[in-house]
Structure 1
């Protein structure tokens, strides 16, 4: 049972360690690269988890398709049926949660568009009459292009240059299609709970990406920092009844965002040691994400190969190569 247990452990444990590595890797990259790193890592880790579960779930069915007796498989690996049932239950749960989360995203977007329908403005800007300070990027929906939605309360709170920062920030969200990165990563959290930390890190780096774009647009990092701080302070404790929660101006840890804006513009990582560290961390994330895929694929290949060998040599007598392979894969499962 050693290797069977290893497969389960890898499927469940790898995402925890790889998620931590992905967050660390994102911390040494520029915001744009950090966002893509976190999103890709989340997708790979979720895919690896699903692949490992599918591999476990399909072993009994694969044996049936290859005209092998499930009884004989159970003799070699007694845990195959319980593990397949658990894997199937987890896959079904993940699917239900994924559908529910997707429908929630669509409902939130539709609600935000209805709330923004009372706004007025020119071009991509909608100003909603509301005393609460709020601002967010509203992604396109049902053929309507994305808009920047700002309440009149927020407009009164900010000074002229700070308004420019706010609008540039939200337009950066729309231009970079940040809602897609955020939604994809949020959906992966239904596959494995370890990916929730990746989602939280992505929220911060998406805001940092938009902050840097806004600072570049106005040409003054201190003004950008002041605008972020003032908007966050004005919007703190509000209900955000009009907002699309994935792209609110007050998202992410604001003090860290302000602090980063008060520093020079981030550049590419420098130094051979730092680049080597990034390569090692990236390689570890990719290896952790693909290991479960490789194990699931290898399990199927072993079973299919030995099934063909068994069928080609006639009815099994004694311990066939299939059972030798299963013993090699799963240890002394029958003992």
Structure 2
């Protein structure tokens, strides 16, 4: 029964070991590739954990599948039922956590849309009243198109060119569907708590992705850096009133409105500003798009192989054990 216990241990421990590796790989990639790598690794590691637990739950059905007396199976594997029961309990907990996380995200998004109902729409921008300097994005919800939400206070705090950076940044979040990647990691964290450690890193790389898109849109990296710094300073007064995080990306946006969203003032702003004052990233340590593709591939393929290998190894062991029992 040792291989079954090893499978349980690996299902629980593998994400804890893989998260630091994903962090390191993401640090070598440009923002876009780093974000995709982190989201992909989170999804694969969560899926692998579920696959192993599902396999363990089905082990007691070996007797029926292999046409063996169940009593004979339990005689050879006395711990098969406890291990299967623990796996089933873990799956039930995961399902409950997933349901609660999904429900919570949806409720927060609905609340955010209600609280911005007094805003004035100008194209894809929703201007809301208030002196607080806020800017964030609201994903599409219940037939309402996705919007860039900005407060009157933020518009007053920025000059015309800085506003162009602000809008380009927030539109990059929507165009790249960054809220989907953020939700993916948030839900993966509901499956395995170790994956919650990927959320701050994803937040940073999503903001860097939007920063680079904004810099490209205005054609001036220095202007983009200055605008992001000014927006962050303007929004810092509301930083202590942030509520729960709808997008999993923890921004200052919607401070007084009780939610946090993907925003220009999210994350370690000094690091983001420094990055914009440097040349545009071309790949891991400047080695170009091929190296970036290789790093992204490694960040996604390695967790995929590990998560597929565990259920496959468990299946092979079950078949071997069945042949052993039949041989007795």
Rg larger for = 1
**Equivalent residue, structure 1, for 2:136:** 136
Instruction: Give the Cα separation in 2 of the matches to 1:273 and 1:2.
Output: 46
Instruction: Give the Cα separation in 1 of the matches to 2:170 and 2:104.
Output: 22
Secondary structure of the 2:121 match is coil
- 1:13-52 residue pairs with structure 2 within 5 A? 13-52=13-52
Instruction: Give the Cα separation in 1 of the matches to 2:14 and 2:290.
Output: 24
Judge which range, 232-241 or 243-252, deviates more: 243-252
Secondary structure of the 1:55 match is helix
Deviation at 1:298, TM superposition (A): 4.0
Instruction: Give the Cα separation in 1 of the matches to 2:300 and 2:78.
Output: 33
Residue 250 (structure 1) aligned with residue 278 (structure 2): no
Aligned residues: 313
Instruction: Give the Cα separation in 2 of the matches to 1:211 and 1:271.
Output: 18
- 1:301-312 residue pairs with structure 2 within 5 A? 303=318
The alignment's TM-score, normalised by the length of structure 1, stands at 0.85
Deviation at 1:277, TM superposition (A): 10
Deviation at 1:270, TM superposition (A): 6.2
Contact kept? 1:102, 1:187, Cα under 8 Å: yes
Judge which range, 297-306 or 129-138, deviates more: 297-306
Instruction: Give the Cα separation in 1 of the matches to 2:292 and 2:214.
Output: 30
Instruction: Give the Cα separation in 2 of the matches to 1:271 and 1:122.
Output: 40
- 1:1-335 residue pairs with structure 2 within 5 A? 1-238=1-238, 239=241, 240-242=255-257, 245-269=260-284, 279=294, 282-283=297-298, 286-300=301-315, 303=318, 319-321=325-327
Contact kept? 1:21, 1:281, Cα under 8 Å: no
Contact kept? 1:166, 1:214, Cα under 8 Å: yes
Q: What 5-or-longer segments of structure 1 have no aligned partner?
A: 311-318, 324-335
Distance 1:179 1:190, change over 3 A: same
Contact kept? 1:25, 1:282, Cα under 8 Å: no
The alignment's TM-score, normalised by the length of structure 2, stands at 0.87
Instruction: Give the Cα separation in 1 of the matches to 2:289 and 2:79.
Output: 45
Deviation at 1:117, TM superposition (A): 1.5
Distance 1:228 1:243, change over 3 A: farther
RMSD of the TM alignment (CA)? 2.6
